[in-house]
Structure 1
């Protein structure tokens, strides 16, 4: 059963918002809205990126275990470890113009400088 909080949609009809848990919302292209609204999505905090990700619970084929599928992976058809990068760094901006398949290196460029970095330069140890 799909249950979700009510959410006010933006006036711009090319985008829609999908409610998540923890008072968060994901912004998606209008063409993807109905597809994504089939499921309940949750907001999962990631300490590494200091941001929320939209995820849903998925039952594995064995029926015993469950895993989580990221909304960005579902939109891009990226499974089995393929990396989807949020170009602007906003992990709840799920518009396809903001998503790309990326390598680990490409994805790392969006990460801010680590808090324990004394030089203020990325990639230096």
Structure 2
């Protein structure tokens, strides 16, 4: 069945955008995962338009204090879960099915909503568990973004004058 493309870029960024840095002139983008709460994931700008062909939402993984938030979407008639970090890693570093069956994607800094290429790597399940941080120990997305923005060259956000 053929469906018309829907432009949903920024569709969830309603009132939550206020007070947050504009990422338009940066190498990163924010993808909103909920319309009810301010939950978003950080991605590379080069992946943004590819990701926005789907509707992403938030998944609460783990139990109790070990609950982590992940960006995911549902696909197919069974509504199977597809996690954003895995889709992005397969897209940027494709591997064969045997490898994919034995490996997961590790978030290097422990922040499961930081889906930039610089924060993802292939890992065995064992190594991923060893590298796991308890919720609250991983840096917040706001702190990660602040550090990234501070590292940009001076004048990155200056508007281009049109005389």
1:116 corresponds to: none
In the alignment, does 2:32 pair up with 1:19?
A: yes
TM-score by structure 1 length? 0.75
What is the Cα-based RMSD across aligned positions, in Å? 2.3
Greater than 6 Å deviation, 4+ residue runs: none
Once residues 45 and 110 of structure 2 are traced to their aligned partners in structure 1, the CA distance between those partners, rounded to angstroms, is 21
Q: What does 1:7-46 align with in structure 2 at a 5 Å threshold? A: 7=17, 9-10=22-23, 13-21=26-34, 22-46=37-61
Give the deviation of 1:42 after TM superposition.
0.5
Is the 8 Å Cα contact of residues 28 and 43 (structure 2) preserved in structure 1?
A: yes
Distance 1:12 1:2, change over 3 A: closer
In the alignment, does 2:72 pair up with 1:55?
A: yes
Give the deviation of 1:91 after TM superposition.
0.2
Greater Rg by CA: 2
SS in 2 for 1:56: strand
Q: Which 10-residue stretch deviates more, 47-56 or 96-105? A: 47-56
Is the 8 Å Cα contact of residues 15 and 27 (structure 1) preserved in structure 2?
A: yes
1:110 corresponds to: 131
Give the deviation of 1:23 after TM superposition.
2.3
More helix as a share of residues: 2
TM-score by structure 2 length? 0.59
- Structure 1: gaps spanning 5 or more residues: 114-125
Once residues 108 and 87 of structure 1 are traced to their aligned partners in structure 2, the CA distance between those partners, rounded to angstroms, is 12
2:84 corresponds to: 71
Give the deviation of 1:10 after TM superposition.
2.6
- Structure 2: gaps spanning 5 or more residues: 1-5, 135-163
How many residues are paired up? 109
Once residues 132 and 126 of structure 2 are traced to their aligned partners in structure 1, the CA distance between those partners, rounded to angstroms, is 10
Is the 8 Å Cα contact of residues 2 and 40 (structure 1) preserved in structure 2?
A: no
